[in-house]
Chains A and B, each alone.
Chain A
Amino acid sequence: MIPAPFDYSTPATLKEALTLLQQLGDDAKILAGGHSLIPMMKLRLASPAHLIDINKIPGLSYIKEEGGYLKIGAMTREVDLEESEIIRKKFPIFIDASKLIADPQVRNLGTVGGNIAHGDAANDQPAIMLALRAEVVITSLEGERVVPIDEFFFGFYTTAVQQGEILTEIRIPTPSKGTGSAYHKMERKAGDYAIAGAAVQVSLDGKGTCTQIGIGLTNVNATPMRAFRSEEALKGKKLSADLIEQAAQLAAEDCNPSDDLRGSADYKRTIVKALTKRMIHKAAERAVNS
């Protein structure tokens, strides 16, 4: 449980960090909350020669509403979401998730940016960001670029963040009135990665017709996965129990879980169906009550 030797820098500005990143190339890893990277280093599954610790850089941790977006700084800790008034009022989905992400110690240090940048379908925030139609701001020495979340996850541990780049912000479109969101994952015990998880955001008009819907799934695909067919099945329609059941069934059919210690692929599909159904109901209920 002792990592291989590595060098360590604590740049004071983003520019300094980006410069270091460019100089060191593949040998360097960004250290944010460390709750994915450090366990891998301790097991010597990852042995970066250099860690660039961005914890000392000011201005990367914030939650604010601006220009039609909720903006979350990459270094915002999971616990900050839990404690934010804006989040509590408008994005209950994060409160659902924060109860299920690891444990309080991890949430005190783990960052929202890190959770996404790690590119792990087992993490909780990616599916939520898919459901919320987030955009990811990526910064390099050349400037900023904005990537829609659907184009962010490439594969296992690989994302749109290229060499020399740092994920700096997540932007979530401000939901319209009549929007509700919910997340749940089933885990083997508290702090575990999901057997499966479902994130849903739904917008309803005054008549109960679904005008917007986003459904993201956790840990049932090589990358965080959006349940497109389920969304299509509901969009523009008045939600009913039967329709929701059908949409959940589509999610179960479309996901690609693997057999592992958490269960067989078939079993996980059963769980995807149950959770997707429940989260659509819950999000819709919240939309009505919003």
Chain B
Amino acid sequence: MIQCKTSKEISGMGHSMKRKEDARFIQGKGHYVDDIKLDGMLYMDIVRSPYAYAKIKNINIEKAMKVPGVVAVVTGKDLEKYNLHWMPTLMSDTQMVLPTDTVMYQAQEVAAVIATSRYAAADGVEAVEVDYDVMKPVVDPFKALDPKAPVLRTDKPGKKDNHIWHWEVGDKKKTEEVFKKADVVVKEKMYIPRIHVASIETCGCVADYDKVNNHLTMYMTTQAPHAIRTVIALVAGHVGLTEEKIRVISPDIGGGFGGKVPVYPGYVIAIAVSFLVGKPVKWIEDRSENLQADSFARDYHMEVEMAGTKDGKILATRFKVVADHGYADAQAAPSKFPTGLFSIATGSYDYDTTYMEADAIYTNKPPGGVAYRCSFRVTEAVHAIERITDRYALEVKMDPAELRMKNFIKKEQFPWKSPAGWTYDSGDYHQALKKAMDVVGYEALRKEQAEKRKKGELMGIGISSFTEIVGAGPSRDFDILGIKMFDSAEIRVHPTGKAIARFGTKSQGQGHETTYAQIIAEELGIPAENIQVEEGDTDTAPYGLGTYASRSTPTAGAAAAIAARKLRDKARKIAAYLLEVSEEDLEWEPGVFFVKGVPEKKKTIQEIVFAAYTNHPQGMEAGFEATHYYDPPNLTFPFGSYICVVDIDKETYEIKVRRFVAIDDCGNIINPMIVQGQVHGGLTQGIAPAMYEEFIYDEDGNILNGTFMDYLVPTAVESPSWETGHTITPSPHHPIGAKGVGESPTVGAPPAIANAIVDALAPLGITHLDIPITPYKIWKALKEKGKI
């Protein structure tokens, strides 16, 4: 049971308060970008390339301009006049807004049609005639490194290959030595497929440039409105759009998952057109455009090795990654971390030797990738370590649970310094796995499995004991385009004791309007119901880096607590003045200051706030407001243990997830109901790449499954009945001991499922299968092994 310090009326931390935002969402009263309609608004639609790699010989807009309602067709040559045809990516690479001569991936933007209606714009797109000179694309990142491969980024002076960057961490020499001497070495090649966030709401914007006042209001689907405002100012400052003239508004968002962090060409074209014609321009992607052109996630080719003793003690790990970035490194990751936080890949285990390296490659695919519900490549890292750990257990014929228990970092070893350089804040890995094993009934399941194996039936049990790394991040290391990754909260309490709180983050479904209110309620004793939370408007909210990478609770949540504490300090001064005692004589319980030993001598927070406006002490600043910019001292390290049980049909190879137990530890819990909801959603997005989702390209760079017909997003039907639970190990450095939970399930679930399936097939000689693992893939693998 979670202990609550506040009453249900106040609903501070630990209460399963119903989500305040749901009143509008469940009534269909949310307000999304596509709900915005402005006078004189024009509509934009985009002509996209059917080819992965081609020279543009000519673009003929004549027929398109004759389509009734079409007012303009914009090409790269038009943007070139304003030097707006290229833009920077968040990783200091460059990508095209619209091409002037070459297209680099299928579905790339080629021209934009502006019309008086959405329908006319679509007809205009059909009428634009583009002449292409098709070239043989580079699709495979390994072939891209061949010296004979064409150099894709000829726009970069002196560029002679398709290599983007090399990264490494750890001790190469020591790792080699340990591997040489080790009794047991296991190695697997693992591919984490290119996938897509596929949020229900696609991306879009309404760019509204006011010529008279030289002011741009940009309504857009962004997870980071402040950062976007700065980026727009950096890109468009030279045409007079400086930062004070730009207001970015991110209204309700229908799912982001990292896909709404980057700046896509469509946004920039809409701004450019609005700027040139002086009218609002709306651009809303359709589903196919969203899937085929917007930033992908993952796409990591990994070689993973583990060295250990015969009796199951891990000694070292080694990771070699080839990262396919498409034609531009358009990741949304902190500047100094080209592989994101992949170096968490040493996992939950106590050993001191590792070496990791990665090379990023250009190919003729859409640029990326985004951190899909994953704080920067943690999904890839966790899959690598949790899969290879099972592989090692198989090799030394040890139960994978026992092997994990033997190697876990012990709770008394925290704070623990990982061989890749991180300081894990806190953890109790043994407890989490033990709890998961108890809930699932591990011993009985292993017995059942042994019986079934005798009969030739295929049943598997898979474990994933992951360590996450979230809450980017401390300013000494973390920035995006130079802006430090702090986040902010501003609290204003009105004279009647009700409050508005504003943040630099932006909820996309996480429930910030509720959880931030609960944090403030916990600290100030004002009922969460009476605290209005606002995000997403750069004119009103304090500056912040936005919501992704499970960073909102670790950063803005901390800022809320500290801003509220500043106010509580002020409240204490006012209470002392009102009660005519010294501050030291006062005691606090949620919502009330009272005189020690005389509980009837008290002032409620509402009385104190009223006094701050009506009867404040002389010399004290009036009002009751506070702001805090929180720069975290460290990241937070949520963790958990998941156990998955699968049954595989011997004739059709269909995979049935019979049980899935998820024990999460995200430190102190703000709202258990919301955490459970996050875990359910995250687990479903975990079975997605494990069993269903993957982009498939043919050798000509055509995407073969660019619609929901073939890009298989799991639904409620595919979701097993999740069994969730938690342990609580507070973060020692976070003001409210919270760690963040949004991504843990997405990160932790895929290896649990993959391990379970491989475990089921192990008697048939299978040691590894790449995700997504489908019935067809199992059939193929068994066929190759001669088992069918």
Instruction: List chain A positions with a Cβ less than 8 A from chain B.
Output: 1-2, 4-5, 43-44, 186, 188-192, 195, 261-264, 266-267, 270-271, 273-275
Contacts and interface: CB of A to CB of B under 8 A. Distances in A.
A261 B696 contact: yes
Given A186-B652, A186-B654, A274-B652, A261 B717 contact: no
Interface string B762-774: 0000000000001
17 contacts: A2-B123, A43-B707, A44-B126, A188-B774, A189-B692, A189-B712, A189-B713, A191-B715, A192-B712, A261-B696, A262-B776, A264-B776, A267-B776, A270-B652, A271-B652, A273-B651, A275-B652
A190 B714 CA distance: 8
Contacts of A270: 651-652, 779, 788
B718 interface: yes
Nearest to A192: B712
Contacts of A195: 776
B395 interface: no
A2 B258 CA distance: 27
B118 A263 contact: no
Contact of A261 (B704, B715, B788): B704
B122 A274 contact: no
Contacts of A275: 652
B596 interface: no
Given A261-B696, A270-B779, A189 B715 contact: yes
B705 A274 contact: no
Contacts of B715: 189-191
B696 A2 contact: no
Contacts of B287: 1
Given A1-B286, A189-B718, A263 B776 contact: yes
Interface in B104-129: 118-119, 122-123, 126
A123 to B, nearest CB: 14
B289 to A, nearest CB: 9
Contacts of B123: 2, 4-5
A249 B599 CA distance: 85
Nearest to B286: A1
Nearest to B691: A189
Interface in B730-788: 774-776, 779-780, 783, 788
Given A263-B776, A267-B776, A270-B779, A2 B118 contact: yes
Contacts of A192: 709, 712
B780 A267 contact: yes
Contacts of B710: 261
Contact of B717 (A43, A190, A271): A190
A195 B710 CA distance: 12
Q: Which 10 A-B pairs have the closest CB atoms?
A: A190-B717, A2-B122, A274-B651, A1-B286, A263-B776, A189-B712, A274-B652, A267-B779, A261-B710, A188-B712
Contacts of B126: 4, 44
Contacts of A264: 776, 780
A136 B101 CA distance: 56
Nearest to A271: B652
A267 B651 CA distance: 11
B48 to A, nearest CB: 13
Contacts of B118: 2
Nearest to A2: B122
Contact of B779 (A44, A188, A189, A263): A263
Nearest to A278: B651
A2 B692 contact: no
A19 to B, nearest CB: 30
B7 interface: no
A278 B779 CA distance: 19
B134 to A, nearest CB: 21
Contacts of B288: 1, 43
Nearest to A196: B652
Contacts of B654: 186
A189 B704 contact: no
Nearest to B649: A274
Contacts of A263: 776, 779
A195 B779 CA distance: 14
Given A270-B651, A270-B652, A274-B652, 6 more contacts: A4-B126, A186-B652, A188-B692, A191-B715, A261-B705, A267-B780
